[in-house]
Amino acid sequence: MQRQIALVDCNNFYASCERVFRPALNQRPIVVLSNNDGCVVARSNESKALGIPMGVPLFQIRDLIAQHGVVVLSSNYALYGDLSRRVMSILGRYSPLQEIYSIDESFLDLTGFSRVTAYCHTLKNDIKQRTGIPVCVGLAPSKTLAKLCNMLAKKMQPWAKNGVFNFYETEPQAWDAILQKLPVGEVWGIGCRLARKLEFDGISTVYDLKKASPALLRRRHGILVGQTIAELNGEACLELEDLPAARQHILVSRSFGRKTCLFSEVQAALALHISSAATKLRQQQSLASQLTLFVRSQPSDYSHPPVHRSVVLPLSAPTDDTLLLQKAALAGLKTLFTEGALYQKAGVMLAGVVGESEQQLDLFADSPPPQRAKLMAALDLINQHFGRHTLRSAAELMSHASNMNQQWRSPRYTTCWNELLEV
């Protein structure tokens, strides 16, 4: 039986989410900005056609925006996350095995399904009708090939059938001709640095990589490159994971909405980041044994030398307790903070992550009181039901410096009562 793996990817997801509730934005160039309205993190096809690159700071393209009437929007993660959950929920009905790869991508195992191309068209149309989000589907015997087919469904319409590209419906000679036109960097898992190394070895196209020696490249560039070659030749080396793997590091950082030189405001920002990181830790039923803090001052603050410092704090016992982690962060910040510096960013990273059932207990340490675990469970339940940070520690309330600038944010149409669409 032929293996059939489909990758369903939402088209220009952030821009499409905005267009669902604002049809007047259709056919108009759109850019969505990062936290604090800094850089471009998403573009519509119209913006891409104007040559607006990904990651460019907003101030560098203001003339281009004014000249072409580009619509500038702040990130609306509440809206994007809710529409993503709706799309993934619909996709879960179409396959017994689903891997949610990112906020706008999902792998489906369709092995054994009949008339699979028509089935993918039905799936695609259903998502469009129920959510308003357009998607494309790539179908192939491996995840790497499915990613390539999905890209072809979006960009190379002569080979695709209305947003669906089925590898099995392409002749081998025609498929090789397509791969010869694609740069090797288009392959899933081949980053910019690795692409340059492969080009040095004479591998510049996807076809070159497909025909390369797996053993030779495995010795030079690692086992993942060897697996990629096998996947390009139709051998499934990467299985679908219906449950996401537990993260080994949890990083939360953000620039401040405004610069600050106050210890209390930096502490409040770190406390807020720890709350988010600890919530993610509990969601995957893990504990952390190491906490890293870092702070960064404004480089252009000539009145004081720039500060970019960090500290690693080993914890006496692995924990997922927000309050204990915040207490450790306060002690660590006292060693990092420099009076007079104008800070613009702070962050935390939880490391040494182990499962709740895998922790190494200390014979001489006191066991954590069971009431604390119940407290954290109640905290998560309330925040899940009423919204993030509904219930939080006093340390998180001491400042608003960490609030994001969102000058052009659209309403949270689906998650906030006060911002529901009025008709």
How many other C-beta atoms can be found within 10 angstroms of the C-beta atom of residue 144? Answer: 28
pLDDT at position 340 over 70: yes
Check residue 244 and report its DSSP letter. P
Average pLDDT in the 301-306 region? Answer: 63
Over range 27-40, report the average pLDDT. 89
Q: Residues 271-299: pLDDT tens digits? A: 999 999 999 999 988 999 999 999 988 76
Is residue 44 a contact partner of residue 18, using CB atoms and an 8 Å limit?
A: no
Provide the pLDDT confidence category of residue 189 given band limits of 50, 70 and 90.
Answer: confident
Give all domains of the chain, ordered by start, each with its CATH number: 5-168 (3.30.70.270), 172-233 (1.10.150.20), 250-358+366-397 (3.30.1490.100)
- pLDDT category of residue 300 using cuts at 50, 70 and 90: low
Nearest alpha carbon to residue 218 among 208, 228, 210: 228
pLDDT more than 90, % of the chain: 50
Q: Which residues does residue 9 pair with via DSSP β-bridges, in sequence order? A: 105, 136
- Give residue 1's pLDDT: 72
CA angle 244, 249, 255 (to 5 degrees): 110
Q: What confidence tens digit (pLDDT) does each residue in 210-265 have?
A: 998 888 888 888 888 889 999 999 888 888 876 666 678 899 888 887 788 888 88
What is the per-residue burial (b if ≥16 Cβ within 10 Å, else e) of 247-272?
eeebebbbbbbebbbebebbbbbbbb
Q: Model confidence at 67, in pLDDT bands (50, 70, 90)?
A: very high
How many Cα atoms are found within 13 Å in the side-chain-facing hemisphere of 369? 4
- Best mean pLDDT range from 43-47, 220-224, 397-401: 43-47
What pLDDT band is residue 126 in, cutting at 50, 70 and 90? very high
Average pLDDT, the chain: 87
Contacts of 321 (CB under 8 A, 6+ apart): 278, 368, 372, 376
- Mean pLDDT along residues 308-336: 90
Helix, strand, coil tally for the chain in percent (to 5) = 45, 20, 35
Question: Mean of the pLDDT values across residues 368-384?
Answer: 87
Q: Which residues contact 290 (CB under 8 A, 6 or more apart)?
A: 312, 313, 314, 315, 350, 351, 352
Backbone angles phi, psi at 19, to 5 degrees: -75, -20
The average pLDDT across 324-346 equals: 89
- pLDDT at residue 302 is higher than 60: no
**Proportion of the chain above pLDDT 70, given as a percent:** 92
Q: Is the pLDDT of residue 330 over 80?
A: yes
* pLDDT tier, 156 (very low <50, low <70, confident <90, very high otherwise): low
CA–CA distance, 221 with 64 (Å, rounded to integer): 41
Mean pLDDT across 116-123: 94
pLDDT band at 345 (very low <50, low <70, confident <90, very high): confident
Q: How confident is the model at residue 105 (pLDDT cuts 50, 70, 90)?
A: very high
Specify the pLDDT at position 157: 61
